[in-house]
Amino acid sequence: MVKSLKIAGIFGIILLTLTLITFAVVFITIYSGGTVYDILPKAGVFNIFTIFHLIIPIVSIGFMYGFIALAKRFNNKMLLLTSRFIIIFIALSFFANLLFIIGAGDFFATPKIEVDSFLQQALFNIFSKIPFFVLALNLFGLRVFWPFLILFFIVGFFLQLVFAIGLIKLKNKGVPFANWSGWGEIIRMASENIRPIVIILEIIMFFKASKRFEQNSQTGY
């Protein structure tokens, strides 16, 4: 348990570093007159940023196992179930990114599709650049894509909310920074820009919790 939390904390530090680098690249690109699409991975092209799309999911899974360790210790079913679902989604995203980067056939070719409204065109322009959604678009077509997109956001919103509530509940179990981390996850639902702050809170939570549990085991409590 203690070892799992420490390892998760280390993964968190790596994830934080990669996240800050990603944010910096996005900021520099946009500030220099480019767009976020300029730094998205391109099929068959390997560079630092596309490699990040493979490394970050792996590191994120290692980080998520810290939440599973806490959930199992305190029998927190909300946190345990949502953490497992999040890991499954991260794994799917990893394989989609991998296939996209190596250029797997026509599965990731951006389809030429006419849409009915400005809003649909704007959404299509955004999500047709993301490997996971490009794959879904090519597999299921536009008619299924829009319901899939709506369902994805509804399920994603619900998962993150339940995940955050599960974290907040750990406050009653004496887990340091669990309350702050949970509320941070809720705020992050409105703005992804605070993600580094939330990761920092969760890293502190893992290391402080591991230290407290280690002390309790030594004193017999």
Q: Which of 17, 6, 3, 1 lies closest to 205 in space, CA to CA?
A: 6
* Helix, strand or coil, per DSSP, at residue 160: helix
pLDDT > 90: percent of the chain:
42
Predicted confidence (pLDDT) per residue in 157-193, tens digit? 999 999 999 999 999 988 999 999 999 999 998 888 8
Q: What span, in angstroms and rounded, lies between the C-alpha atoms of 125 and 146? A: 13
pLDDT score at 103: 60
pLDDT score at 164: 96
CA distances from 21 to 17, 52, 145, 157, 186 (A): 6, 10, 32, 26, 23
Residue 120: pLDDT band with limits 50, 70, 90: low
Angle between helices 2-31 and 48-73 (to 10 degrees): 150
Residue 80: pLDDT band with limits 50, 70, 90: very high
Higher pLDDT, 215 or 137: 215
In this structure, what DSSP letter does residue 104 have? -
